[in-house]
Amino acid sequence: MLYREAGQYKTNYAADMAIFPLREDRVGIAIIILAAYSLAFLGNSFLLQAVMIPFLVFSLAAIGLNILTGYTGLLSLGTGAFMGVGAYACYKLMTAFPGVNVIVWIFASGFFSAAVGALFGLPSLRIKGFYLAVATLAAQFFLQWCFIRIPWLVNYNVSGALDAPLRTLFGVPVVGATATPQTRYLVVLTIVILLTWIASNLVHGRIGRAWIAIRDMDLAAELMGIRPLQTKLLAFAVSSYYCGVAGALLVFLWYGGAEYDVFNINQSFFILFMVIIGGLGSLIGSFFGAALIFIMPIVLGIVLPAMLSPFGLSVGADVIEHLRFMIVGALIIFFLIVEPHGLARLWQIGKQKLLVWPFPY
């Protein structure tokens, strides 16, 4: 009885078109955001550093890929590389202009990956489906090669790796070794909330409709005046923007420095898996998918040794990693067979049930 549509009348179209037309939904979102912020003060630094920050970063990347693959229907296997472009761009900007606030550069770095993404999106006008997927592999391997072979990108640093110089916001360190997990979590959380809100605005408006139209029936969309190339390129650009920002966050606010190998093809695949399991074409699904794929191995690493230790068996970290691959692979097949719309669909069904509860119809 807590969740009801009845009695909430809308008197104008704007209210009916709101993203959360139900009061209960709005309250729910407010509570979640509040809880997320208070976690910064309640949670210990392991929870923040090893669970929450990466979860948010991967969610952001998954939102990015979801815009391209879920909403616009263009399969990309180059997500890892696009994240890398953001990270390297952010590094160059940060070190070239140390005076400007790092938050500005994190947002700016996304534009570089957006440009690169749009460039590699150009073939999408002529090719579709797995042909396009192979074309994005070109981006993955080419960009990864650039990260290795162009020392200028890491300021000719001998290790060839990105490091995180100390940067502050209002005098508090947010990037660098002295930044606490708490501040980094707060910064990441704020950025992710902001960008999620923007993504939700985009997909609910004219642009989102054009993306879905291209996905569902591209020829009909074109015959209605939706320009295919512009729409697809915009999807590539916006998607890569999100991936780029996620890449910058990953290196500077989570890892605190990274090598090119972070942005390899496995990264691309794991983000794709988050999108598939979470639900193609669903923003909230991106969070569910990221949670499942990222948090599962952590839980596995804690639960499995505990379960097996009474029998005198020990489990190494490598075994956990192998199991993770197997479980993720099996989950992908399972979801594609049982619920191709992913966890987001289950969430929807749950809400529907709640709406009519206690009557099952």
Residues 174-203 that bind other proteins (CB under 8 A): 198, 201-202
Q: Helices then strands (H, E): number in the chain? A: 15, 4
Q: SS3 of 192, please?
A: helix
Q: How far is CA 302 from CA 35, 126, 317, in A?
A: 25, 48, 11
- Cβ at position 46, least distance to other proteins in Å: 26
Helix (H, G, I), strand (E, B) or coil at 126: coil
Instruction: Name the one range near other proteins by CB under 8 A: 40-48, 143-151, 184-192, 241-249.
Output: 143-151
Binding part of the chain for other proteins, among 134-142, 241-249, 255-263, 299-307 by CB under 8 A, reads 134-142
DSSP SS3 for 258: strand
Of 358, 360, 351, residue with least CA distance to 29: 351
Site for other proteins in 62-81 (CB under 8 A): 75
Binding to other proteins (CB under 8 A) within 11-30 occurs at 12-14, 16-17, 19
Q: What is the DSSP string of 129-175?
A: HHHHHHHHHHHHHHHHHHHHH-GGGGTT-TT--EE---EEETTEEEE
Shortest CB 228 distance to other proteins, Å: 8
Q: With binding defined as CB under 8 A, does residue 295 bind other proteins?
A: no
Q: Which of 179, 245 has the CB closer to other proteins?
A: 245
Is the Cβ of residue 270 or residue 288 nearer to other proteins in the bound state?
Answer: 270
Please pick, from the candidates 127, 177, 306, 308, the single residue that binds other proteins as defined by CB under 8 A. Answer: 127
Residue 188 phi, psi (nearest 5): -60, -45
Residue 42 within binding range of other proteins, rule CB under 8 A: no
Binding of residue 1 to other proteins (CB under 8 A): no
- Work out whether 115 is an interface residue with other proteins (CB under 8 A): no
Nearer to other proteins, 62 or 164 (CB): 62
CB–CB of 266/139 below 8 Å? no
Helix (H, G, I), strand (E, B) or coil at 174: strand
DSSP output for 106-118: HHHHHHHHHHHHH
Q: Using the rule CB under 8 A, is 300 a contact of other proteins?
A: no
Q: Which is nearer to other proteins, 166 or 322 (CB)?
A: 322
CB of 165 to other proteins, least distance (A): 26
Least Cα distance to 116 among 79, 67, 73, 151 occurs for 79
Among residues 11, 80, 43, 5, the alpha carbon closest in space to that of 267 is found at: 80
Q: How far is the CB of 265 from other proteins (least distance, A)?
A: 8
**Contact pick of 161, 226, 284, 300 for other proteins (by CB under 8 A):** 226
Contact with other proteins (CB under 8 A) among 53, 221, 233, 235:
221
Give the 3-state secondary structure of residue 249: helix
- For the bound state, the minimum distance from the C-beta of residue 182 to other proteins, rounded and expressed in Å, comes to 29
CA distance 235 to 218: 14
Within residues 77-106, the interface with other proteins by CB under 8 A covers none
Helix (H, G, I), strand (E, B) or coil at 128: coil
Q: Which of residues 251-270 bind other proteins (CB under 8 A)?
A: 265, 269
Contact flag: residue 273 with other proteins (CB under 8 A): yes
